[in-house]
Amino acid sequence: MPEPSNQEQKLLGLFPMNWRFDMASVPVIRWLLKRRWFPMILILFNMFIFAVILLSGVMGGFSSGNYSFGIMIVWILWWVLLMMLFVPVLSRTWCLMCPLPSIGEWLQRLRIFDVNNDLGGLNRKWPHWLRNMWLMNFLFLGTTFFSGFFTVRPLATFLLLGAIIVVGIVLSLVFEKRTFCLYVCPVSGFQGLYSNMAATEIRAKNPEICAKHQKKTCVTGNKNGYGCPWLLEPHSFKRNTYCGMCLECFKTCPFDNMAFNVRAPGTDLLVDDKRGLDEAWKSFIMLGIAVMFYTAMMGPWGWLKDWVRGNTFGGWLSFVGLHTLFNLVVIPAIFFVFVWLSRKASGRKDVSLKTVFINLSYCLIPLGLAAWIAFSFGFLLPNGSYILHVISDPFARGWNLLGTAKFPWTPFGTSWLVPIQFVTLFVGYVLSADFGYKLTLQTYADQAVARRAFVPLLVFLTLAIIAFGWLYGG
Ligand code: SF4
Ligand code: SF4
């Protein structure tokens, strides 16, 4: 029996994947999206917050993390918002307001609000062999080597953010447009991959209008805005992965043909467009880091905590080696065994093992995202109240700017923490299984074959959720 098309698919058999509601069809929202000062005012606001974060990082130096503005805002508030709200619901909306690449972009444009499509800088093209997620995979993994310092040493957060800003400026002066965001920024890759799961998207509305529009001003830019800074063709791209949601195409399209859609979560997981091993490994790395972080930070193994925090150099090197091996080799190797079994069960030799491996890896995204959300609850509920303190006393100077500096440390809802984490993980498991079956069906294009080939994948996902359950409940 042939596979149903993506248009006929339903999420969990209930919610049609082809349903869309264009928020920009509401006049006031479209009006807002077309203003030049939006989202620039959000960028300027966040630039102020990040300036305070950087300053507090220097002033906090080696002090304890709980009373550091930088650590609390970046690793509690920002990270939680990113994983729980921005990525799963609003796709790459953080990129829309991220201040980190802005200085480089302003230097290219020599403008902040106005339009100048005659961009400065060397405008070089990024090497073809680097136009993928591999560099971001390694950089993000490399960043996590220092995870034991980021949450306790304000200076480490300062150095990380400072390095991102400096590299962003240098690359903006050498390479075209948002090359840095597309191929280098360590925060970008996982947002791109996980935004396939998002409940929103930006897409062109009517392809016939685009076909007739010779100038394609969403690509070239015009007096109202810039040609897509993320080097996409806004009229025809198909997945959220590389759309930075900068809203320029809403300003440059003379026919108001761009939509900001609400849709079924995970719709892009079924879009077979530019899938690759780089994205497969991104999903392994994200899953592996979630496991490793939880094990190190919340688990009972003191020796592992000592390794991660670098109490001894040898211990830290052991952590780096173990962490790298686990993420880059062990998880992919285990997944490969189940993919091999899946292809064997299908009896189909005409579909390559590589195709099956890449396609099925996308079903790990819901589970990975759920693991990160569950992990985020683990530090939001016990430690969230510190935020009230640091916003009143950002430089640990005894200030009480908003009258909340004396708010005591108050864990919130911690007796519900484990049940909340279990429910979150279970939802991720169910969605992964649902998309796993859909991806198997898409890969083999035959329902009877797909049912057989899905069994090993379901076993893998079930073993993974049991392991998570043991980890979070143990
Ligand atoms: S500018 Fe608008 S109509 Fe023209 S190609 Fe782009 S999205 Fe389509
Ligand atoms: S201009 Fe490009 S990056 Fe910006 S919202 Fe449109 S498609 Fe996305």
pLDDT tens-place string over residues 182-202? 999 999 999 999 999 999 999
Q: In this model, does residue 66 exceed pLDDT 70?
A: no
Q: Which ligand is nearest to the CA of 250?
A: 2
114-128, 298-312, 331-345, 429-443: least confidently modelled range = 298-312
Residue nearest atom 6 of ligand 1, based on CA coordinates: 218
Q: In this model, does residue 408 exceed pLDDT 70?
A: yes
Ligand 1 centroid to Cα of residue 249, in Å, is 8
Instruction: Taking residues 294-312, report their average pLDDT.
Output: 88
Ligand 2 centroid to Cα of residue 8, in Å, is 27
Alpha-carbon distance 224 to 120, whole Å? 18
193-207, 223-237, 321-335, 460-474: least confidently modelled range = 460-474
- Given ligand 2 and candidates 36, 95, 231, 248, which is best to mutate, with the most ligand atoms within 8 Å of its CB? 248
Instruction: Taking residues 106-135, report their average pLDDT.
Output: 96
Residue nearest atom 7 of ligand 1, based on CA coordinates: 235
pTM: 0.93
Atom of ligand 2 nearest to the CA of 244: 3
pLDDT digits (tens, 9 = 90+) for 445-472: 999 999 999 999 999 999 999 999 998 8
Centroid of chain to Cα 232: 18
* Per-residue pLDDT band at 7 (split at 50, 70, 90): low
- The answer to whether 136 and 186 have CB atoms below 8 angstroms apart is yes
Question: Does 300 or 139 have the greater pLDDT score?
Answer: 139
Q: Which ligand is nearest to the CA of 237?
A: 2
Atom of ligand 1 nearest to the CA of 219: 6
Instruction: Taking residues 51-71, report their average pLDDT.
Output: 77
The answer to whether the CB of 227 is under 6 A from ligand 2 is no
Residues with CB under 6 A from ligand 1: 204, 209-210, 213, 216-218, 234-235, 252-253, 255, 257-258
pLDDT score at 1: 46
- Given ligand 1 and candidates 22, 202, 216, which is best to mutate, with the most ligand atoms within 8 Å of its CB? 216
Ligand 1 centroid to Cα of residue 257, in Å, is 6
311-325, 346-360, 402-416: least confidently modelled range = 402-416
Alpha-carbon distance 186 to 121, whole Å? 23
Q: Which of 95, 58, 57, 91 is nearest to 73 (CA)?
A: 57
Q: In this model, does residue 3 exceed pLDDT 60?
A: no
Ligand 1 centroid to Cα of residue 238, in Å, is 15
Instruction: Taking residues 220-244, report their average pLDDT.
Output: 97
Alpha-carbon distance 263 to 286, whole Å? 24
Packing angle of the helix pair 277-298, 447-473 (nearest 10 deg):
20
Alpha-carbon distance 447 to 451, whole Å? 6
pLDDT score at 251: 98
* Per-residue pLDDT band at 418 (split at 50, 70, 90): very high
Instruction: Taking residues 290-317, report their average pLDDT.
Output: 90
Q: In this model, does residue 85 exceed pLDDT 60?
A: yes
Q: Which ligand is nearest to the CA of 33?
A: 2
Q: Please name the residue ranges forming H helices in 406-446.
A: 417-444
- The answer to whether 101 and 178 have CB atoms below 8 angstroms apart is yes
Atom of ligand 1 nearest to the CA of 213: 4
* Per-residue pLDDT band at 412 (split at 50, 70, 90): confident
Q: In this model, does residue 205 exceed pLDDT 90?
A: yes
pLDDT score at 24: 97
* Per-residue pLDDT band at 8 (split at 50, 70, 90): low
pLDDT score at 63: 56
Instruction: Taking residues 302-330, report their average pLDDT.
Output: 94
DSSP assignment string, 17-56: TT-EEEGGGSHHHHHHHT-TTTTHHHHHHHHHHHHHHHHH
The answer to whether the CB of 245 is under 6 A from ligand 2 is yes
Distances (CA, A) of 227 to 223, 224, 301, 358, 442: 10, 10, 52, 32, 34
Atom of ligand 2 nearest to the CA of 248: 1
Alpha-carbon distance 141 to 160, whole Å? 13
Total residues belonging to the chain: 474
63-67, 118-122, 262-266, 425-429: least confidently modelled range = 63-67
* Per-residue pLDDT band at 5 (split at 50, 70, 90): low
Question: Does 407 or 221 have the greater pLDDT score?
Answer: 221
Ligand 2 centroid to Cα of residue 286, in Å, is 25
Atom of ligand 1 nearest to the CA of 252: 1
Q: Which ligand is nearest to the CA of 238?
A: 2
pLDDT digits (tens, 9 = 90+) for 36-47: 999 999 999 999
Residue nearest atom 6 of ligand 2, based on CA coordinates: 249
Residue nearest atom 7 of ligand 2, based on CA coordinates: 234
The answer to whether the CB of 228 is under 6 A from ligand 2 is yes
Residue nearest atom 1 of ligand 2, based on CA coordinates: 228
Distances (CA, A) of 420 to 396, 417, 435: 33, 5, 23
- Given ligand 1 and candidates 220, 223, 257, 258, which is best to mutate, with the most ligand atoms within 8 Å of its CB? 257
pLDDT score at 229: 97
pLDDT score at 337: 98
Q: Which ligand is nearest to the CA of 230?
A: 2
